[in-house]
Amino acid sequence: MTTARQADKRRHHRIIFKEPKKIAALISPLDHEEPEEAVPSSILNMSEGGIQISVERSLLDGIRCGRKILLHCISGLPDLLAFADVPMQVIWVMDNEHLDHVLVGAAFGDLSEEQEESLRSFVDISLQESC
């Protein structure tokens, strides 16, 4: 159950991706922006403000709270092909040492006008389909 205080924290509607649909992203710390250094991750949810991803613990090197990362690309969402080389900032990290994956929340940085429009359109369509 979401309390009023929790609801106030959200500025954007969130699209939650459920199994078996797999939405993936390639990310890397901003100072390791070569594509071969990118880390695969699963996108759990997305909004106009950012994404929540799951990253395998062994691949997490250099991705921590406050750090800038680069979202190289998203696969599984043809509507978001414009999302390439998007700078992001890690806002929070949820790390349970007993699990193999770490959850990461990251906010979008400077989006181009085309990226903003494709994201807004994707969110609007997804919200209409969920009703």
Q: Is a pLDDT exceeding 50 seen at residue 33?
A: yes
> pLDDT tens across 73-85, in order?
999 888 888 788 8
Domain total of the chain = 1
Residue 50 lies in a domain: yes
Q: Which residues of 1-25 are buried (b: 16+ CB within 10 A; e: fewer)?
A: eeeeeeeeeeeeebbebeeeeebeb
Residue 1 lies in a domain: no
Cα separation, 121 vs 98, whole angstroms: 38
Residue 48, pLDDT score:
92
Residue 3 lies in a domain: no
Residue 91 lies in a domain: yes
CATH number of the CATH domain containing 55:
2.40.10.220
3-class DSSP state of 126: helix
Residue 4 lies in a domain: no
Predicted TM-score (pTM) of the model is 0.84
Q: Do residues 44 and 52 lie in contact, with contact meaning Cβ atoms separated by under 8 Å?
A: yes
Q: Do residues 99 and 57 lie in contact, with contact meaning Cβ atoms separated by under 8 Å?
A: yes
> pLDDT tens across 59-104, in order?
988 889 999 999 999 998 888 887 888 999 999 999 988 889 999 9
Residue 130 lies in a domain: no
* Structural domain span for residue 90: 10-125
